[in-house]
């Protein structure tokens, strides 16, 4: 989910960054009246994300281009699938090509990696969620890509909820006073989450009235005990040390959510090309 108006502002920045003064190659080699017809294709299996944004890049740079999107965000495609076709003034296609490819490759990488993590915990009740560890300026589209892969979004920004972490607790003098302070000024219906790295803190956070409790870098044994301790009173989020080879065991402890930055910060690039149709 993203706002198209905001994405249009980003597209202008991306194009300006890549073009600079002008596209010397296209301007010197391609005549204004020459036409082109190209297809964007998947060169490996993937979960698609950002295809409409890629189409918008082409249309933004050259409004005369005819872009036909063949898939939708969230689709799982095989190697060789055509994602979109674009035809019209060749200069416009070739100048916008790299920016369009960069975005759909980056977003599809995140969606594809997210889908791998989601598949590992599909037999449990746990849901995968992202973090605020995103590329500056790209959070909106990266979090959209997570949802395309079957994940859920955590806070979109600092104004989306209260997250009481170890440093907040240290300044306030404990979990109970930290939660109490937050509750005095908190907007109605806004949730409070407390980060805990020890079981005794879980009890404190529950007693203090936390809406969500994060289990930070706990062992699976400790998380299982926290699940029994909380007994469904509030949702539990597991965080820290989450990898593809660890997430299954963590989900099987009974936690409700598992958050990781790996899906946005370490997603392997996917291979997408633009070839003559």
Domains of the chain: 4-118+268-276 (3.90.1170.20), 122-265 (3.20.20.70)
Catalytic residue check, 143: no
Distance from C-alpha of 85 to C-alpha of 67, rounded to nearest angstrom = 6
Backbone phi and psi for residue 107, each to the nearest 5 degrees, phi listed first: -70, -40
pLDDT, mean of residues 224-234: 98
Return the structure tokens found at 44. 């490996």
**Active-site residue, from 62, 73, 142, 216:** 216
Dihedral class, residue 151 (left if φ above 0, else alpha if ψ from -120 to 50, else beta): beta
Three-state DSSP at 130 gives coil
**Active-site residue, from 70, 87, 98, 132:** 98
**Active-site residue, from 87, 116, 165, 225:** 165
pLDDT for 1 beyond 90: no
Token match 């930070």: residue? 216
Query: Which tens digit of pLDDT belongs to each residue from 236-270?
Result: 999 999 999 999 999 999 999 999 999 999 999 99
Catalytic residue check, 216: yes
Catalytic residue check, 165: yes
Query: Which tens digit of pLDDT belongs to each residue from 101-121?
Result: 999 999 999 999 999 999 999
* pLDDT for the residue 197: 96
Closest Cα partner for 84 from 106, 56, 107? 56
Query: Which tens digit of pLDDT belongs to each residue from 140-193?
Result: 999 999 999 999 999 999 999 999 999 999 999 999 999 999 999 999 999 999
Catalytic residue check, 133: yes
Distance from C-alpha of 129 to C-alpha of 151, rounded to nearest angstrom = 6
* pLDDT for the residue 117: 98
Return the structure tokens found at 57. 């890049």
Query: Which pLDDT band holds residue 90 (cuts at 50, 70, 90)?
Result: very high
**Active-site residue, from 23, 195, 204, 256:** 195
Distance from C-alpha of 228 to C-alpha of 253, rounded to nearest angstrom = 10
Query: Which tens digit of pLDDT belongs to each residue from 23-73?
Result: 999 999 999 999 999 999 999 999 999 999 999 999 999 999 999 999 999
Dihedral class, residue 191 (left if φ above 0, else alpha if ψ from -120 to 50, else beta): beta
Angle between helices 90-120 and 139-148 (to 10 degrees): 60
**Active-site residue, from 70, 132, 133, 248:** 133
Burial class (CB in 10 A: 0-12, 13-18, 19+), 12: exposed
Whole-prediction pTM value?
A: 0.96
Distance from C-alpha of 67 to C-alpha of 53, rounded to nearest angstrom = 11
């Amino acid at each position: 989910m993203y706002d198209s108006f905001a994405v249009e502002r980003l597209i202008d920045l991306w194009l300006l960054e890549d073009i600079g003064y002008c596209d010397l190659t296209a301007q010197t080699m391609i005549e204004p009246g020459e036409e082109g017809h190209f297809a964007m294709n998947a060169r490996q299996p993937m979960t698609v994300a950002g295809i409409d944004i890629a189409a918008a890049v082409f249309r933004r740079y050259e409004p005369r281009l005819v872009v036909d999107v063949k898939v939708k965000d969230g689709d799982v495609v095989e190697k060789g699938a055509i994602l979109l076709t674009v035809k019209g003034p060749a200069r416009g296609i070739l100048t916008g090509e790299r920016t369009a490819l960069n975005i759909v490759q980056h977003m599809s990488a995140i969606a594809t990696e997210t889908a791998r993590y989601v598949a590992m915990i599909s037999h449990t009740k746990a849901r995968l969620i992202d973090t605020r560890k995103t590329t500056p300026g790209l959070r909106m589209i990266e979090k959209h890509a997570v949802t395309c892969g079957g994940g859920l979004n955590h806070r979109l920004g600092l104004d989306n909820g209260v997250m009481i972490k170890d440093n907040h607790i240290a300044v306030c003098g404990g979990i109970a006073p930290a939660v109490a302070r937050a509750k005095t000024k908190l907007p109605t219906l806004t949730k409070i989450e407390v980060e805990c790295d020890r079981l005794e803190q879980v009890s404190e956070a529950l007693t203090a009235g936390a809406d969500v409790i994060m289990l930070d870098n706990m062992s699976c044994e400790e998380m299982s005990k926290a699940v029994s301790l909380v007994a469904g009173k509030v949702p539990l989020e597991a965080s820290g040390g989450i990898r593809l080879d660890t997430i299954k065991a963590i989900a099987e402890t009974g936690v409700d959510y598992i958050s990781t930055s790996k899906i946005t910060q370490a997603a392997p690039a996917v291979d997408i090309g633009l070839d003559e149709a």
